Amino acid sequence: MSAFQPVALEHASRLVNHGPTVLVTSADGSRRNVMASAWSMPVEFTPPRIAIVIDKNTFTRELVMASGRFGVCIPGAAFIDITYAVGSETGRDEDKFAKYGIAHVRGPVLGLPLIETNCAAWLECRLIPERHTEDAYDTCFGEVVSAAADPRVFSNGHWTFDESNVPLHTIHHLGAGNFARASTMLKAKPV
């Protein structure tokens, strides 16, 4: 007999998706926004492409569809409160960058607002139009056109999580404002 308890299907995706929470940045003309997303993943290596869930009813989605571009910033543990705040409210009525004093740099290829303070990395993405997803689904696909990372936590193509860089450890949304923080890495041994 199994000791496991059934999981409601509405929560089933949380069992496999505890990758890093990301901040999605967007801009179109003078309008800009930042929101949190717990669902993102790589889908291609060359060229690098990602999939990210951006609810089609959000201000961010409106800006992404209008501009054809979006940024993905990977917040560290030191940014957990701001990450939760920008993921809990709309930017349609108020500029969240200004409201929360979020500093940003201009992306080198697409000119997107990208967050470096308290973030481990960022990616600039060009939206890949997918007629099957634009109206029916919240999933967006993007081709990564530039990326950068803080070398204290990511260098030579690999993550390093240790006691020296705890504020930059990625955060993973578990639902209802609860997050887990990536911690010290474990190295597998040959068996």
CATH number of the CATH domain containing 60: 2.30.110.10
129 inside domain: yes
Between residues 186 and 108, which one has the greater pLDDT? 108
Contact 49, 128 (CB under 8 A): yes
Question: In the predicted model, what is the mean pLDDT of the chain?
Answer: 91
1 inside domain: no
Q: Please report the pLDDT score of residue 134 as a whole number.
A: 65
Q: Please report the pLDDT score of residue 16 as a whole number.
A: 61
91 inside domain: yes
Q: Given the DSSP bridges, would you call strands 119-128 and 69-75 parallel, antiparallel or unpaired?
A: antiparallel
**DSSP string of 34-64, one letter each residue:** EEEES-EEEEETTTTEEEEE--TTSHHHHHH
HEC readout, 60-74: HHHHHHHHCEEEEEE
Q: Please report the pLDDT score of residue 74 as a whole number.
A: 94
For residue 121, pLDDT beyond 90: yes
Between CA 110 and CA 44 the distance in angstroms is 20
**Neighbour-count burial of 113, counting CB atoms closer than 10 A to its CB (0-12 exposed, 13-18 middle, 19+ buried):** buried
| Closest to 79 measured CA to CA, from 34, 46, 136 | 34
Q: Please report the pLDDT score of residue 163 as a whole number.
A: 94
157 inside domain: yes
Q: Tell me the pLDDT band of 133, cut-offs 50, 70 and 90.
A: low
Q: Give the pLDDT mean for 53-76.
A: 96
63 inside domain: yes
What is the helix (H) or strand (E) element at residue 97, kind and residue range? helix 96-99
- Can you say whether the dihedral through the CA atoms of 79, 84, 87, 93 is positive or negative? negative
| Closest to 104 measured CA to CA, from 113, 93, 95 | 113
Between residues 11 and 19, which one has the greater pLDDT? 19
13 inside domain: no
Q: Tell me the pLDDT band of 187, cut-offs 50, 70 and 90.
A: confident
Structural domain harbouring 45: 18-181
Quote the number of domains for the chain.
Answer: 1
11 inside domain: no
Contact 22, 40 (CB under 8 A): yes
Q: Tell me the pLDDT band of 83, cut-offs 50, 70 and 90.
A: very high
190 inside domain: no
Between residues 176 and 25, which one has the greater pLDDT? 25
What three-state secondary structure class fits 171?
Answer: strand
Between residues 8 and 122, which one has the greater pLDDT? 122
Looking up tokens 């869930």, which residue turns up? Answer: 53
- Can you say whether the dihedral through the CA atoms of 51, 54, 55, 57 is positive or negative? negative
How many C-beta atoms surround the C-beta of residue 33 within 10 A?
A: 26
